[in-house]
Amino acid sequence: MFGSNFGGPSAPASPFGATSAPAFGASSTPAFGQFGGALVPFQGRQQQQQQRLPALNAQTLVTANNQWANHSTKFSDIHPEGQKELRRLEQFIRQSREQCQELDQCSRLHSSSRQQKQEMEQQAQALKQALQRSATRHIVDEQEATAVRERVLQLLRDTDAGMRALQRSSYFLKHVLGSQAQVLPPNTRDRLLGPVRLPSDFLRQSMQSFEAMAEQFAVVVTQQLAPLEADARQDAGEQEGLQALPASLSNLHDYLVYVAARIERLSDSLASARSAFLAARRQAGDYTDPFAEAEEQAAAASQASKQHIARPLAP
């Protein structure tokens, strides 16, 4: 049983020396074994068992003495490779049972109501649409990245071509115009008149300098982060203060609202008292407003003081 499940021969050797022929395809000799195999001498059975000894691998259940395992074989007698395989299968079965229990506890799978089915279909449709949008965004991003890459390559070619033209013109001005019979060296001719090849020497030097600058920047950032991390470790207790800051700000806001309400009530009381005082003066025949006169005098004094301060000093 175990041998067939884990890659062994289809039928183990029976105590009576059964051959590998199936029950319905045995030879014409009298069948005596359990599976219809023919009888063979005892020595023949030993030779046949020696020929049938399995190879030790993880797909075969055999005992420690290299014999086939059966239902009465103890676990401790099984070969270590077979024990390892059985433990792996046991772990897989346990995980499958746990997953089945989780699915059994899901009420949505057991419910047969149309509403929950519709909700599940809607969620599945929403997930499908989200995946489609993600796939579309991925395609668009890939196309944009390809376009940017092509543009960068074109800019690099144009830059290299411009550098090549500048070098060619300067070389011609220095050497060709000075001596008409001078011939360009082969290396210089290939470098100036040949096609643009990427990466060029100019591009290699530029990338090396850029890499060096990036390394220097990383070193500077690391040096600046080191004191900050040290301060953060020392001020770890301030995290509690930061966590309590929102509550403190909320309390301060409530207090300011309370003070503003008190000031507004006081201002209303003063306005009512002022109106009552002016009404009493008008009833007495005095229609002047001492409050307005006092405000005008205060404004004039303030304006005069500002002009006095701003007036330049005489020489």
Q: In tens digits, what is the pLDDT along the chain, a chain of 315 residues?
A: 444 444 444 444 444 444 444 444 444 444 444 434 444 444 444 444 444 444 444 446 788 888 888 888 888 888 888 888 889 999 999 999 999 988 888 776 776 677 877 888 888 999 999 999 999 999 999 999 999 888 888 887 788 777 777 777 777 777 656 655 556 667 766 666 666 666 667 777 777 888 888 888 888 888 888 877 777 666 655 666 667 777 888 888 888 888 888 888 888 888 888 888 888 888 888 888 888 888 888 888 888 877 766 555 444
What span, in angstroms and rounded, lies between the C-alpha atoms of 236 and 99?
43
CA of 295: how far to CAs of 54, 290, 304, in Å? 115, 9, 14
Does residue 17 contact residue 45 with C-beta atoms inside 8 Å?
A: yes
Structure tokens given for 173: 């001005």
pTM over 0.85: no
CA of 157: how far to CAs of 111, 150, 197, in Å? 65, 10, 8
Task: Count CA atoms closer than 13 A to 309's CA, side-chain side.
Answer: 6
Q: What is the pLDDT of residue 11?
A: 42
Q: What is the pLDDT of residue 235?
A: 62
What span, in angstroms and rounded, lies between the C-alpha atoms of 77 and 71?
12
Chain centre to alpha carbon of residue 281:
79
Structure tokens given for 300: 């004039």
- Phi, psi values for residue 32, rounded to 5°: -130, -25
User: SS3 for 31?
Assistant: strand
Structure tokens given for 102: 């989780």
What span, in angstroms and rounded, lies between the C-alpha atoms of 79 and 6?
13
Question: What is the residue whose two structure tokens read 């059994």?
Answer: 104
Task: Count CA atoms closer than 13 A to 253's CA, side-chain side.
Answer: 6
Q: What is the pLDDT of residue 139?
A: 93
- Phi, psi values for residue 196, rounded to 5°: -75, 130
What span, in angstroms and rounded, lies between the C-alpha atoms of 255 and 248?
11
Comparing CA positions, the residue from 15, 24, 79 lying closest to residue 48 is: 15
Q: What is the pLDDT of residue 159?
A: 80
Q: What is the pLDDT of residue 155?
A: 83
Does residue 64 contact residue 43 with C-beta atoms inside 8 Å?
A: no
Does residue 32 contact residue 84 with C-beta atoms inside 8 Å?
A: no
Q: What is the pLDDT of residue 188?
A: 67
Per-residue exposure over 36-63, b if at least 16 CB sit within 10 Å of its own CB, e if not: bbbebeeeebeebeeeeebeeeeebbbb
